[in-house]
Structure 1
């Protein structure tokens, strides 16, 4: 069957197009879509793209035919599209993750119904399982201890699955954590001005000084976090990208635009620092990192002691500032929820930078 053309917007998806797409990937075989109602779900949440929920009706019953589908598109904003392409994030990489990686691992993820990418135009589309009525985490809120530990166990198991695996060599489409480190350090320096012009008023002078100093040392730190032992990193492992249900299997993980190969604790530092309020983080941090390390050991990871884990955690707090500054200085955070999200993150990150004396590493 000839692959369907790629629609640019949710409104471009017709019943005939969806039928062809779902049949080409084997999701349906006998039924046909007859109508689609597209609702935008990305307002305030989909910073790097547009997300729509498609309510679909069919001409006949078929067990596997999805009545609700999540459709992901690139951003309409050319500035954001360029930033995604030029940064650690990539629309194409997310599609390749769903096609080649995450469908075969123990980590829970949405089912992929269809995907397509045109490298010449950079147009792409990803059709995914709607996880409703699962409960998504909230980066602005305060997670429960149960959710925190469930998320840590899930990502630790995923990291262990690819820990120094021969499969890493085969994943040549996944970048090294430090790929283009010098170029990204230059991009970080260029983003500092726009970032501080908007968000500097919320930061202490010592934090602003540290951000400026990172402009000369970020490449070195990211190179350190690219040395063995390595695994596959999610790259944006936070509560907004985790869906919890009552199954006890751990959260389903979405948003795979920023994966890479590097030291695993970069994901853990991102999750703990960006998702947990400082007072609770201080009380739980050591215990949570020990939990993470113990799950790695339970899955057969060796030759990675807890002292090394803590050293990598501290480095990762610094390294993750690349994303914070570039995203905060480029993407649209004008909505109320977006403003609350980044201000919450900045408070948490600033406190962690101070608590872990990250300035000593720069």
Structure 2
């Protein structure tokens, strides 16, 4: 190993930096060669499949990995540095606490400014990413909601998490919640300017009305909280081909809040409205049954169902923020539009705004 030049960088900035020397450094074993190929579109990060050939024929390490780097676009990289910090915090400080199914991670490192980031994960192939626009089946939805309880249960009402440094959207103070409410109102108008012509008047009005209620929505029910994924939807789930197992990825949006917001966001965005309407109670019951295994004796199903109904405002909340502050793409616009349409219908059917208003 001595005399190899140039030395491996500490944090790869591009796939060219994912060299045999770097892999040797993080895995602690001699590597003969590496091959790096892109996975996905890399909108906020750049993900690659890493194939490794070891010097030892009997190595117990995997032959392939997924390696996630910061975006190759400097403007995107600077804008989402907080997200990289969140993912780094999750894998270094949270992953061993929760029971949500995640890929095994082998290495995670971030620069002081948060701009350079690397995450080395087990390759989950042949698992496939969910399709946000196409939606999922009832069986896939049940897998996903049961898995979600493995995040919420172990962190339920634990006072260390509201002050956790890895949070992207903190609501620890009244000022923070008011600030998010003001941002939501602004983002709603930006979203309607961009996509409003493709929406019904009823949905446009509901987006405006629900985003004007974000501050009271965030301030209610603060006695029930847990760590939240923050973007728990199909594009961030990997399903095995036989749909017997799901793995959760992309931890760049960690937050703390009413846990059922994650649950409602998933069902509200990932199921066709008619399927979601038929399965609402069954899916909440499956989630609640799994959650109950963690011992929340003072949390009953009726409260969980109410939280789910209130939590459905998470759909327009995250959708307008994502739409307003992201680069426009055809698929991105189509996806945001579908998510908002589904979420608006769910809010109307569940009476979510009436609950927030207390009417």
Q: With structure 1 as the length reference, what TM-score do the two structures score?
A: 0.85
- From 250, 253, 259, the counterpart of 1:258: 253
1:58 to 2:58 alignment: no
* Equivalence for 1:7: 12
Q: Deviations over 1:213-248 (max 9, x none)?
A: 3443312212225x1222221112122222233799
Question: Contact 2:130/2:234 (CA < 8 Å) preserved in 1?
Answer: yes
Question: Contact 1:48/1:331 (CA < 8 Å) preserved in 2?
Answer: no
Question: Contact 1:222/1:319 (CA < 8 Å) preserved in 2?
Answer: no
In structure 2, the residue corresponding to 1:164 is in which secondary structure? coil
Give the superposition deviation at 1:272: 0.7
CA distance in 1: counterparts of 2:112 and 2:180, whole angstroms: 22
- From 295, 317, 321, the counterpart of 2:316: 321
* Equivalence for 2:198: 202
Deviates more, 1:11-20 or 1:56-65: 56-65
**CA distance 1:316–1:234, shift in 2 (3 Å):** same
* Equivalence for 1:232: 227
Give the superposition deviation at 1:76: 3.6
Give the superposition deviation at 1:257: 1.0
CA distance in 2: counterparts of 1:250 and 1:342, whole angstroms: 27
Please provide the CA RMSD for this pair.
2.7
CA distance in 2: counterparts of 1:198 and 1:13, whole angstroms: 39
**CA distance 1:239–1:248, shift in 2 (3 Å):** closer
* Equivalence for 1:40: 38
Question: Contact 1:178/1:219 (CA < 8 Å) preserved in 2?
Answer: no
**CA distance 1:174–1:334, shift in 2 (3 Å):** closer
* Equivalence for 1:156: 149
Q: Which residues of structure 1 form unaligned runs of 5+? A: 24-28
**CA distance 1:222–1:83, shift in 2 (3 Å):** farther
Question: Contact 1:83/1:330 (CA < 8 Å) preserved in 2?
Answer: no
* Equivalence for 1:22: 27
CA distance in 1: counterparts of 2:291 and 2:114, whole angstroms: 41
CA distance in 1: counterparts of 2:102 and 2:280, whole angstroms: 26
Q: With structure 2 as the length reference, what TM-score do the two structures score?
A: 0.86
Q: Deviations over 1:274-313 (max 9, x none)?
A: 1100001111112211222222224321212223222222
Give the superposition deviation at 1:340: 4.1
Give the superposition deviation at 1:6: 1.6
In structure 2, the residue corresponding to 1:178 is in which secondary structure? coil
Q: Within 5 Å, give how 1:1-362 maps onto structure 2.
A: 4-23=9-28, 29=29, 31-32=30-31, 34-43=32-41, 46-85=42-81, 90-120=83-113, 122-165=115-158, 168=161, 171-174=164-167, 178-179=171-172, 180-225=176-221, 227-245=222-240, 250-336=245-331, 338-360=332-354, 361=356
Question: Contact 1:80/1:330 (CA < 8 Å) preserved in 2?
Answer: no
Q: Deviations over 1:47-72 (max 9, x none)?
A: 32221112222233353333222121
**CA distance 1:167–1:182, shift in 2 (3 Å):** closer
In structure 1, the residue corresponding to 2:205 is in which secondary structure? helix
CA distance in 1: counterparts of 2:62 and 2:325, whole angstroms: 36
Deviates more, 1:310-319 or 1:122-131: 310-319
CA distance in 1: counterparts of 2:181 and 2:163, whole angstroms: 27
CA distance in 1: counterparts of 2:215 and 2:47, whole angstroms: 33
**CA distance 1:349–1:77, shift in 2 (3 Å):** farther
CA distance in 1: counterparts of 2:189 and 2:261, whole angstroms: 25
In structure 1, the residue corresponding to 2:96 is in which secondary structure? helix
Question: Contact 2:184/2:321 (CA < 8 Å) preserved in 1?
Answer: yes
Question: Contact 2:206/2:344 (CA < 8 Å) preserved in 1?
Answer: no
Q: How many residues align?
A: 347
